[in-house]
Amino acid sequence: MKNFIVLLIALFTISTYAQEKELWAKSILNEKAPELVVEKWLSDIPDTEGKFVLIDFWATWCGPCIKAIPELNSYQKEFKDKLVVIGLSDEPEAKVKKHKRPKIEYYSAIDTQSRLNNELEVRGIPHCILIDPDGIVRWEGYPLLTGYELTSDVIAKVIEDYKK
């Protein structure tokens, strides 16, 4: 009986930690990314030719989105020659422009019609997709999800794997 209880506990523990990554959007991992639709750029228009593109779906009212901004800033700086970070909000221009802290140091755009959000069925933000220079999605998800965080190491590995 004692061995049976130990076995049950072990199985429960394994199944708890073996869960798949949860997404709050349609998965398009390893598929061609949909076209980036922008209503208006609030920054310069980025040159994405030959670069990885990280699109962050966010909103000014979203606490986790705001928490992610400093990390996204650091990715833009660290991988500046290889990566373009784009924050995409479906809020009105005036609302996004009012956002001052933390300062966004990457590219910023709006699409109040939520065309890309709708195509990807995004129902939880922040949501990010990392697209390789060939237009294929290589990472997707909630960038702060425990055990599946988007980090510099993750981005570096995706870039390195692309070179192979």
The pTM assigned to this predicted structure is 0.87
Residue 57 has pLDDT above 60, yes or no: yes
In the chain, what percentage of residues exceed pLDDT 70?
88
Nearest to 89 by CA among 120, 65, 119: 65
- pLDDT tens for 43-56 read 999 999 999 999 99
Cα 104 from Cα 164, distance rounded (Å): 32
**In this structure, what are the phi and psi dihedrals at residue 163, rounded to the nearest 5 degrees?**
-65, -25
Q: Residues 127-152: what's their mean pLDDT? A: 96
Query: What is d(CA 33, CA 50) in angstroms, rounded to the nearest whole number?
Result: 15
